[in-house]
């Protein structure tokens, strides 16, 4: 399965799909690891420290 | 391919996240709990007499469940970033195997753990630190620059993209992470060192496994889809 064997339109659709998964991943890491809302921060506290995120 | 990317990422992220959570609870959590005694002032280290070096493991069901939940969540997020990058490489004809996945995992560890820790070592509760917003900006910029730099080194052709890649990895470290003006942390340096080393060690183990699992699930999904077609 190489890019050459596909039409440009199909490759573009696949890149859109990849970008969507990437954006979802970035959203999860930001929400679980970095957003400072109090409840979220307290719940994720230990994991944030253990993962090396800036926490306080 | 969308389904292949999402499925491989979720399976690999969940498995690596559970292992990360287990390692975190056994090796990192006791150090964190010990540091909280200093943060709260229950134990004082810098009073001239020293303090007990006893680091105990304590079980707290709600707290530990939340740690497991968030570790799996964060590793699912990591997995989506990793597998999206793998998929982009696969579109360009790069073969994704479990063995190649190990290398991807190590590169991911370097981008997301090692490079930011070079400027901002994993911090214990109670450590002195600069403004949070500034550190978060530096953290995200460093992860992005290191990830792009590693990609250029791995997939660039000729010396020019590779030199640009190396410069991208160096740049945030040369600019430097935001550091506090004064050191006022109440936590013993011995604990802080142990914590940083263990956090990085657990991150390394979890990321290499994440890469391995991602490569394995990627291949499995590809085979299954080929059979369906």
Q: Which residues of B fall within a CB distance of 8 Å from A44?
A: 66, 70
The reported pLDDT for the residue numbered B201 is 97
Where do we find the tokens 């936590």? B187
- Cα of first residue to Cα of last residue in chain A, in angstroms, is 47
As to burial, measured by CB atoms within 10 angstroms (0-12 exposed, 13-18 middle, 19+ buried), residue B9 is buried
Given an 8 Å threshold on Cβ–Cβ distance, is A18 in contact with B80? Answer: no
Number of folded domains that form chain B? 1
Residue B167 lies in a domain: no
Pairwise CA distance, residues B222 & B220, whole Å: 5
> Which of A47, A53, A55, A56 has the highest number of chain B CBs within 10 A, making it the mutation to test binding with B?
A47
pLDDT in tens, B165-219: 999 999 999 999 998 888 877 888 889 999 999 999 999 999 999 999 999 999 9
Q: Is B129 on the interface with A (CB under 8 A)?
A: yes
**DSSP 3-state of A52:** coil
Given an 8 Å threshold on Cβ–Cβ distance, is A34 in contact with B92? Answer: no
Q: Where are the domains of chain A?
A: 23-51
pLDDT by 10s per residue, chain B, length 229: 888 999 999 999 999 999 999 999 999 999 999 888 888 877 777 777 777 767 777 788 899 999 999 999 999 999 999 999 999 999 999 999 999 999 999 999 999 999 999 999 998 887 888 889 999 999 999 999 999 999 999 999 999 999 999 999 999 999 999 988 888 778 888 899 999 999 999 999 999 999 999 999 999 998 988 888 7
Rounded to 10 deg, the angle between the B61-91 and B132-155 helix axes is: 40
Q: Is B66 on the interface with A (CB under 8 A)?
A: yes
Given an 8 Å threshold on Cβ–Cβ distance, is B87 in contact with A18? Answer: yes
The reported pLDDT for the residue numbered B14 is 97
Pairwise CA distance, residues A51 & A44, whole Å: 10
Residue B124 lies in a domain: yes
The reported pLDDT for the residue numbered B218 is 96
Shortest distance between the Cα of A29 and any Cα of chain B, in A, equals 5
The reported pLDDT for the residue numbered B79 is 98
Residue B71 lies in a domain: yes
Nearest chain A alpha carbon to B117: A52
The reported pLDDT for the residue numbered B225 is 86
Q: Is residue A4 over pLDDT 60?
A: no
Residue B157 lies in a domain: no
Rg (CA), chain B: 20
Residue B8 lies in a domain: yes
Q: Is residue A5 over pLDDT 80?
A: no
Q: Is A38 on the interface with B (CB under 8 A)?
A: no
- A19, A28, A53 member nearest B73 (Cβ): A28
* B contact residues 160-189, partner A, Cβ 8 Å cutoff: none
Q: Which domain holds residue B77?
A: 2-129+180-228
Given an 8 Å threshold on Cβ–Cβ distance, is A29 in contact with B120? Answer: no
pLDDT mean over A3-30: 85
Q: Taking the mean position of all CA atoms in its chain, how far away is CA B177?
A: 17
The reported pLDDT for the residue numbered A6 is 58
Shortest distance between the Cα of B228 and any Cα of chain A, in A, equals 16
Nearest chain B alpha carbon to A46: B67
Pairwise CA distance, residues B105 & B107, whole Å: 5
The reported pLDDT for the residue numbered B29 is 93
């Amino acid at each position: 399965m190489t890019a050459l064997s596909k039409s440009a339109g199909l490759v573009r659709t696949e890149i859109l799909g990849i970008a969507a998964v990437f954006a979802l991943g970035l959203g999860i890491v930001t929400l679980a690891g970095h957003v400072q809302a109090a409840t979220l921060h307290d719940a994720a506290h230990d994991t944030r420290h253990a993962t090396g995120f800036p926490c306080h | 391919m969308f389904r292949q990317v999402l499925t491989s990422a979720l399976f690999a992220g969940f498995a690596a996240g559970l292992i990360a959570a287990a390692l975190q609870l056994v090796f990192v959590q006791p150090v964190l709990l010990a540091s909280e005694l200093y943060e709260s002032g229950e134990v004082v280290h810098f009073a001239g007499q020293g303090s007990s070096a006893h680091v105990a493991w304590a079980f707290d069901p709600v707290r530990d469940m939340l740690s497991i939940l968030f570790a799996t969540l964060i590793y699912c997020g990591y997995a989506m970033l990793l597998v999206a990058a793998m998929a982009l490489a696969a579109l360009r004809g790069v073969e994704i195997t479990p063995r190649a996945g190990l290398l991807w995992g190590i590169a991911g560890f370097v981008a997301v753990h090692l490079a930011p820790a070079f400027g901002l070592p994993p911090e214990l509760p109670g450590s002195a630190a600069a403004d949070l917003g500034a550190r978060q900006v530096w953290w995200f910029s460093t992860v992005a620059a290191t990830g792009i730099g590693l990609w250029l080194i791995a997939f660039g052709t000729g010396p020019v993209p590779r030199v640009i890649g190396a410069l991208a990895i160096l740049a945030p470290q040369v600019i430097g992470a935001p550091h506090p003006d004064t050191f006022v942390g109440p936590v013993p340096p011995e604990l802080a060192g142990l914590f940083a080393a263990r956090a990085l060690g657990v991150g390394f183990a979890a990321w290499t496994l994440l890469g391995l699992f991602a490569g394995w699930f990627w291949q499995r999904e590809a085979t299954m889809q080929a059979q369906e077609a």
